[in-house]
A and B are shown apart, each in its own frame.
Chain A
């Protein structure tokens, strides 16, 4: 039964991949909707290592841009963009295409518990 060995190897590879995926998904996943030319919610507070996905429900592109920190570039209609919050701090961001859209991402140190 030589065929069993590659099968086992494959199984091992799958387990390795699954745990790698687990490591990346360690943080909590958050979602901010972009709807009606607004970020919903406007302010979101996450722990370091969490990921935030902005989902654009509007019929035209938007951006999620905090000067010097992060920039999604254009997120197409019905598109999304994910950012992993690695650095604690308070980030005010705008849409560079519609600068009257304002949001805030607060990243708390994961170790700091209230």
Chain B
């Protein structure tokens, strides 16, 4: 699982370097936001179905609900602003990392699944928050797009704290 956390970290670290020439534009930021949420929705759905611990199951369910809510809002905003989300290397790396995570998780069961899922959630939310602070918020030009990211940020902090709490429990 350390390896998967590394992939997530690398994908999001790429967000900081891939756009060295002035950072991502709003169309790319919108695409990154939607992709980052979708990756966590996919993992959450798997956890909802396969997790052993009821707490991990509930966490997975909440990830699906919260990140779907953010994406619904992001999609509505993009439509309103008439911005066409633009695929980019960061989105591609996120998607690839997400698919590899799901693939690896599908091979696991019981406690091993719960631990691997939660370990990844901790690393993923840490990296997403890092990308929000260093790449997405500083580069977003449109005030509403920037506002959306700023407004949902504290929820991701809560998710990270929740995942860390579960990580501590599972480690015992």
Interface residues of A (CB under 8 A from B): 35-38, 58-61, 77, 95, 97-101
- Is A36 within 8 A of B150, CB to CB? yes
Given contacts A58-B69, A61-B65, A77-B69, contact A35 B151 (CB under 8 A): yes
In the complex, which residues of chain A have a beta carbon less than 8 angstroms from the beta carbon of B150?
Answer: 36
- Listed by A's residue number, 17 A-B pairs whose Cβ atoms lie within 8 Å are A36-B152, A37-B154, A37-B155, A37-B158, A58-B152, A58-B155, A59-B69, A59-B72, A59-B73, A60-B65, A60-B69, A60-B70, A60-B155, A61-B65, A77-B69, A99-B161, A100-B157
Interface residues of B (CB under 8 A from A): 62, 65-66, 68-70, 72-73, 150-155, 157-158, 161-162
**Which of A59, A61, A99 interacts with B158 by CB under 8 Å?**
A99
In the complex, which residues of chain B have a beta carbon less than 8 angstroms from the beta carbon of A97?
Answer: 62, 66, 158
Q: In whole Å, how far is B138's beta carbon from the nearest beta carbon of chain A?
A: 19
In the complex, which residues of chain B have a beta carbon less than 8 angstroms from the beta carbon of A35?
Answer: 151
Given contacts A60-B65, A60-B66, A61-B65, contact A101 B73 (CB under 8 A): no
Q: In whole Å, how far is A53's beta carbon from the nearest beta carbon of chain B?
A: 21
A48 to B51, CA, bound (A): 45
- Dominant secondary structure at the B interface: helix
A61 to B68, CA, bound (A): 11
In the complex, which residues of chain B have a beta carbon less than 8 angstroms from the beta carbon of A37?
Answer: 151-155, 158
Q: In whole Å, how far is B157's beta carbon from the nearest beta carbon of chain A?
A: 6
**Which of A59, A95, A99, A100 interacts with B152 by CB under 8 Å?**
A59
In the complex, which residue of chain A has the Cβ closest to the Cβ of B70? Answer: A59
In the complex, which residue of chain A has the Cβ closest to the Cβ of B67? Answer: A60
Please give me the 10 A-B residue pairs with the lowest Cβ-Cβ distance, nearest first: A60-B69, A59-B69, A98-B158, A37-B154, A36-B151, A59-B73, A60-B66, A37-B155, A100-B158, A77-B69
In the complex, which residues of chain B have a beta carbon less than 8 angstroms from the beta carbon of A100?
Answer: 154, 157-158, 161
**Which of A59, A61, A98 interacts with B154 by CB under 8 Å?**
A98
In the complex, which residues of chain B have a beta carbon less than 8 angstroms from the beta carbon of A77?
Answer: 69
Q: In whole Å, how far is B145's beta carbon from the nearest beta carbon of chain A?
A: 14
In the complex, which residues of chain A have a beta carbon less than 8 angstroms from the beta carbon of B151?
Answer: 35-37, 58
- Is B154 within 8 A of A38, CB to CB? yes
**Which of B153, B155, B157, B162: most chain A Cβ within 10 A?**
B155
In the complex, which residues of chain B have a beta carbon less than 8 angstroms from the beta carbon of A60?
Answer: 65-66, 68-70, 155
In the complex, which residues of chain A have a beta carbon less than 8 angstroms from the beta carbon of B152?
Answer: 36-37, 58-59
